[in-house]
Amino acid sequence: MSSNNFYVRPSRPRRSVLYVPADNTRALVKSLKLNCDAVIYDLEDAILPDHKDDAREQLHAFLTENFPNGTSNDSREIIIRINSLASEWGKRDLLAARSLMPSAILTPKVSEIDDVIEISDALLELDAPNTLRLWAMIETPKGVLNAPTIAQYARTPGTRLDCFVVGTNDLLKETGAKPIKGRPYISTWLMQIILAARAYELDVIDGVFNDFNDLVGYKDECDNARAMGFDGKSLIHPNQISLANDIFGISDEDFSKAETIIAAFREPENKELGVIQIAGEMVERLHLEMAEKIVLKANIIKQREG
């Protein structure tokens, strides 16, 4: 925690974020060796009501066995999506997640700022360290309308909020919009969520592409999401990982440009300047911050992929 009580959120690659049902033994085991940036172990939508308690126990046993020193020690981010605290399973999910210490807890159907405050207060009462972060699903009409207010909570002292995850399936269902190629009827909503996230320095992950056998359509939607400004894509199948890593990754050109910007600002004559010129272009110090994040993310990816 810095002196102004803001948690300094680390820059992490979040190109590929895979959902794994907490009650699927085969998928749980397979998830240990997949090359995605983050895994969301799901206790919510993927689990039938009658299986919720068993799924929670199974996930607890699996993570305890494979991460005896805590899931936060994994090179990837490990996320647990819990059920809403208003549900009959939410509080037990939260207690289990707190004991497992994942990288973050993903809370569903965040429609207003009180949804985030409630779970943040609950984690505070459980004496969870601030390194246990909070991700928020934006998947309701009210969530889209309130995205700026919800994102602003990320600038509250002591906040845990790190990332928005868009639930496009729920948005389509609740609005009646058609899932047309290019997403013309929901693009403005997606851009509103992205704008809110960027205003308060949150990452934002696009929703899932349902037909995992349609790699052409999936690539088109990833390209669309990257062009919009999403940091990555949430996934439902391992065969979607590689393409997401490529499309939301860092190109050699972007990496080289970032290194050039960093080197230029390190020159003695530029250390105190807010704006400098590089190859005929004016470059501001904010571009230095962006460049540093690019290099950091690229190095994390390179280290993981060995």
Give the position of tokens 């020193």: 69
User: pLDDT digit string (tens) for 118-149?
Assistant: 999 999 999 999 999 999 999 999 999 999 99
Give the Å distances, CA to CA, from 194 to 23, 165, 269, 298. 32, 10, 37, 22
List Cβ neighbours of 121 (8 Å cut-off, separation of 6 or more): none
On whether the CB atoms of residues 187 and 208 are closer than 8 A, the answer is: no
Nearest-CA neighbor of 51 among 81, 78, 79, 24? 24
Report the distance separating Cα 60 and Cα 97, nearest Å. Answer: 8
List Cβ neighbours of 95 (8 Å cut-off, separation of 6 or more): 126
User: pLDDT digit string (tens) for 51-72?
Assistant: 999 999 999 999 999 987 766 5
What predicted TM-score, i.e. pTM, was given to this entire model? Answer: 0.91
Amino acid 305: pLDDT: 78
**Confidence label for 272 from pLDDT (cuts 50, 70 and 90):** confident
Report the distance separating Cα 77 and Cα 220, nearest Å. Answer: 26
Residue type, 268: P
Burial of 55 (0-12, 13-18, 19+ CB in 10 A): buried
Give the Å distances, CA to CA, from 216 to 70, 181, 209, 211, 239. 38, 11, 11, 10, 13
Asked whether residue 1 carries a pLDDT value surpassing 50, the answer given is no
On whether the CB atoms of residues 205 and 144 are closer than 8 A, the answer is: no
Q: What number of residues does the chain have?
A: 306
Average pLDDT, the chain: 92
Amino acid 69: pLDDT: 72
Helix (H) or strand (E) holding 18: strand 16-21
